[in-house]
Amino acid sequence: MPVSDHQMIEAWTQVLKLSKLERGQTVTILTSAATHPQTLSTALIATQAMGAIVNRLDLPPVNGEKALSRDALAYLGTTPLTGNRAAISALKASDLVLDLMTLLFSPEQHDILKGGTKILLAVEPPEVLVRMVPTEADRERVKAATERLGRAKAMHVVSAAGTDLRCPLGEFPAISEYGFVDEPGRWDHWPSGFVLTWPNEGGASGTIVLDRGDILLPQKAYVTEPVTLTVENGFATRIEGGLHAELLSEYMESFKDPEAYAISHIGWGLQPRAHWATLGLYDREATIGMDARAFEGNFLFSLGPNNEAGGQRTTTCHIDIPLRRCTVRLDGVDVVTEGKVTDGFQYPKE
């Protein structure tokens, strides 16, 4: 069901206040051909109402002839900022960038963040944004999980379906995604609500079993029969199963890049307002699947790059796969038990 402009302006205002936007600061809204018009129009109103100096930077899409999908995460090659010095300068000169385009895994984004500019990605449909407006409680919960993950030396993930994955930790930082940008140089994604890190390079090993109902992204498909990934020395070396195994294998083969098979980020969902079932209610091109990535108690792992964390892999293939009903252990202690988060966190009553 659609939401009103009033609701969207209220949602933007809350997110901008949490992001510590101040009167007189410069906001640049980054847009492209797929930007949702209501998200853009209400962002313009909310930022101006808070006294910001507001610019809109519209850039043409790229990589459409290479990607197999219209999903913005289906091909992570060059971006509209690649070689575009004028656009990069405008973003560096901004206090806050509202990314309504999807600028991810790029050296240009890292360069902009290094200068202290904050970047907030917001590309889900307006009704998803309104349902998952972030809160201070989201931040508190995710930050606590991040601190715990940052201290861990090993993650062990098991499930009744057969997953038994071991990941040594420590080479890469633990990262919080809670939906707003409250520190200089911070990137985040509204909506979100999860914690993640990367296994030590070449260290992940074991077996990952995608059971019925687990989700493949960006294919945006619920798995209907088990898919088994064998993980050796940090890479998925075999993908076995039925139709979904074949679809995943062919998709990955299309990138012609061995690094596409590397285990990328690993973590778990902490957002109670995200729902596993939501993906089945949307047209595939309407959403990038943030409900699936963030729903409480999932084990989310990915295949592909690690340059977001300072690593060297920059493959154009990036696949996120949320699993249900897993047990996630850090140094032998459960943080998720059979799909239930064990932190005991209580959200304030509304």
The confidence score (pLDDT) of residue 309 equals 78
Q: Quote the CA–CA distance of 228 and 256 in Å, as a whole number.
A: 21
CATH superfamily of 5-131: Response regulator (3.40.50.2300)
End-to-end CA distance of the chain: 23
Query: For 83-102, what is each residue's pLDDT tens digit?
Result: 899 999 999 999 999 999 98
Q: How far, in Å, CA of 85 to CA of 263, rounded? A: 33
pTM score: 0.95
Q: Which amino acid makes up residue 102?
A: T
- The predicted pLDDT at position 80 comes to 85
In the structure, what pLDDT confidence band is assigned to residue 75 with cuts at 50, 70 and 90? low
Could you tell me which residues come within 8 angstroms of residue 346 by beta carbon, excluding any fewer than 6 positions away? none
Contact 88, 66 (CB under 8 A): no
What is the spatial distance between Cα 347 and Cα 337, in angstroms, rounded to a whole number?
20
* Share in percent of the chain as helix, strand, coil (round to 5): 30, 30, 45
Average pLDDT, the chain: 94
In terms of DSSP bridges, do strands 53-58 and 96-99 run parallel, antiparallel, or are they unpaired?
Answer: unpaired
Distance (Å, whole) CA 144 – CA 299: 17
Name, in order, each residue with C-beta under 8 angstroms of 179's C-beta and a sequence gap of 6 or more.
Answer: 15, 18, 132, 133, 134, 138, 188, 189, 190, 191, 192, 193
pLDDT in tens, 166-199: 999 999 999 999 999 999 999 999 999 999 999 9
What does the alpha-carbon distance between residue 269 and residue 336 come to, in Å, rounded to a whole number?
9
Residue 320 has pLDDT above 90, yes or no: yes
Which of the pair, 334 or 306, is modelled with greater confidence? 334
**Count of Cβ atoms closer than 10 Å to residue 109 Cβ:** 22
211/197 Cα distance (integer angstroms): 23
So where are the chain's domains?
5-131, 136-341
